[in-house]
Every structure is written in structure tokens, then in C-alpha cells.
Structure 1
């Protein structure tokens, strides 16, 4: 089932409108993030609105590469996942939507062939101990980069589709180009699965 069909089936009216805008390849949605920052709600994160942006092959720009040290002290390099679909999730432990979507991401991760699909988190705030505790508590089976001090992973994505909220999930195609972005909490495992399936089908 393709993503547009899936969105029509599962989305609320608001989500459907956001998805329709994305599928028209505008790449830009109304952005409430600045308003959230100014309102000073004290929730300690800026949440996205769940907008899903999907980009056709000709709209994906240049490949993105990034690296960093993981919570376990290993070195992650996106070049090692060359030729795979890459799912990149920006998160931190104190973010309530991140906690909600963690099991959803892990469900999709567990269902994928690691020879075809790679998952990595980018932790934007925590030290190693805090991040590792989160991963253990929520059963996260893929690595996360600690990007607090260097910010290099975030900078690598600071182009036309930056991770402007926490959480944000960005999906790269097999050439490392941005193919989709979920701005805010991922609501349905089936949405991410369908994005991945569509990208795998491009190379079939």
C-alpha cells in the first residue's frame, strides 16, 4: 500500500491536509514552532505538528553524510550505511513525544531487513548515561549519536528540510538524499513502514 493511500485511511482531517500539502511537494508547511518558543509554556521542547513531507526523486537534493560517537562509545558513520534506506530520528530523553514514539520506531526497526534499512538516533541534549538509560527503558535496539557538544549531525541536515522540532524523523533514500520528513511525533508505525517500502520499491 502506497503512502498516499495509507494516509487517507489513517489520518484525521488535519493530518490529511498536511499530507496532501506534502505530496504536492511543497516541502514547506505552516510552522508553529516559533510561536511555541515565544509562548514560554515550560514544556522544555518545541514540538512539531506531525506534518509529513515526502519528496520525489528529482526533489531530494544532495546526499547527506554525518557521523558521531554513540551512547556506547562506538563510532557511527552514515557512509557505512551507503546503499540502504536510512531512518534518522532526532530525540532526547526529557521529550514527552520522544517517549511516546520510541516503541513505534523500534517496532518498525525490528521489522526491517538490516541489510536494506538502517536506523540511527541523534540525541540533541543528553549525556551518554541519560541516553543509554532511555534506550534500555524503551527497548531501543539501534544506536544513537550523541550530538550535544558538536552538533555536527544536526548541521548536516540544516538545509531545506532541517529537523526543526524534537522529535523529527528523516528518511534518506539509498543515495543518502532526504526522501521524507515527519516533523513531530510519529503517530503510526504503518506510515514509516510505507515510506520505507516505497523507497525499497524504487530500487526493485
Structure 2
């Protein structure tokens, strides 16, 4: 193969990949249309837990998609939004843009975002982040399930996605079981938790 056809082929493949990221997402569309093929998800219901009922802080550790160590100590004193997800989960794909938008809106505040990928290897998570413009890290939990175990008293293991809001002490302050039906709910839960005294 000469240099010109090879360059043309590489350009066509790169263009196709770029267009794939811009096209509509069939799994997310399937979810929006009400199909629950291939996943079990919650109903989007949310719960806010009174301060007196929150119990102990959840301690956890893992490695993100780049291999960097991530622990609960890294987030001490911050409100943390923890989203359990995986790349081929249709409701996870549907809610990804809203999660990233809220992450950007809360930049520079006391709220930080963290994903927990429950099924994929790092390469899939990185590709997902690039496709959806996700800028916050995700702990890769497929090999040992340590994150799911740490939060097992707070989230049902069969409901993905699930989003938790942790208070500054590392306790679960709120939970959304299933995809975000309204991003304003999560925004309110985060703002309420930020407003609490530490």
C-alpha cells in the first residue's frame, strides 16, 4: 500500500469515528423510548437522608481509568456525587450529558463528581468519556467490586445507574435510584448538601 492510500484510509477511519461520536446514541434512544432491553435500572426515585439518620462515613479506595489511586481521603471535606455506571447501560448513556453539565456548573465549589464503572475495562471507560465529554474520573470496579461493597448498605447492586450524594463527612446524604429523570433534582440535592454545616 502506498503512502497516499494509507493516509486516505486513516483519514476515513478517523472521520468515521468522529461522526460516530456526533451521531445519536442508539442505546440512549432505546432507553428514552421506554425499552429496558439488557439492563435492570431503578425508576429515578430519589431519597434525601436526614443528617441524624446518615450513619457512618463510607471509606473506599480504588484506581481510576488512568490507573491513578483514588480514595475517600482525597475527597475529605467535600460534597461528592458518586455515579455508578457502565458504558453499554442505556440509561447511563442517556444521563451522561446531564451529569457532565452539572459537574461543569459546580466547578470551583465544594462539590466534586466521581464515577464508579461496574463492568468495563479502562479502555472502554476512556472511550465513553471521550464520546460524552466526561471530565471527572471513574473508579474501575469490575475486577474486585470494592466500591460496590463499600456502598452496599446504600445502593442495591442490581440498579445501575445509581447516583449518591455524599456529605462533607463522607456519609450518604441522598440517593437517586436509576437514571436522572430531572437533572434539577440532583442539582437541588447537591446544593442542599453544600449548604449544610460541616
Do Structure 1 and Structure 2 share a fold, with TM-score over 0.5? Answer: yes
Aligned pairs for 1:1-204 (under 5 A) are: 43-203=37-197
Larger Rg computed on CA atoms: 2
* TM-fit CA distance, 1:201: 1.2
Aligned positions, number: 164
**Normalized against structure 2, the TM-score is what?**
0.78
Distance in 2 (CA, whole Å) between partners of 1:148 and 1:95 is 14
3-state SS of 1:76 partner: strand
Q: C-alpha distance in 2, partners of 1:195/1:42?
A: 27
How far the C-alpha of 1:160 sits from its partner, in A, is: 4.6
Cα distance in 1, alignment partners of residues 68 and 74 from structure 2: 13
CA distance in structure 2 between the partners assigned to 1:163 and 1:120 by the alignment: 18
1:73 CA displacement: 1.4
- Please say which of residues 158-167 and 62-71 is displaced more in the overlay: 158-167
What TM-score comes out, normalization by structure 1 length? 0.76
Q: Work out whether residues 90 and 163 of structure 1, in 8 Å CA contact, stay in contact via their aligned partners in 2.
A: no
Q: Go from structure 1 to structure 2 and tell me whether the alpha carbon gap of 1:181 and 1:87 turns closer, same or farther (over 3 Å shift).
A: same
- For residues 11-41 of structure 1, give each alpha carbon's deviation from its aligned partner in whole angstroms, at most 9, with x where no partner exists: xxxxxxxxxxxxxxxxxxxxxxxxxxxxxx9
Write the deviation string for residues 125-175 of structure 1: whole angstroms up to 9, x where unpaired.
001111110011000010001100110000000115445401000111010
Contact 1:104 1:189 in 2 (8 A): yes
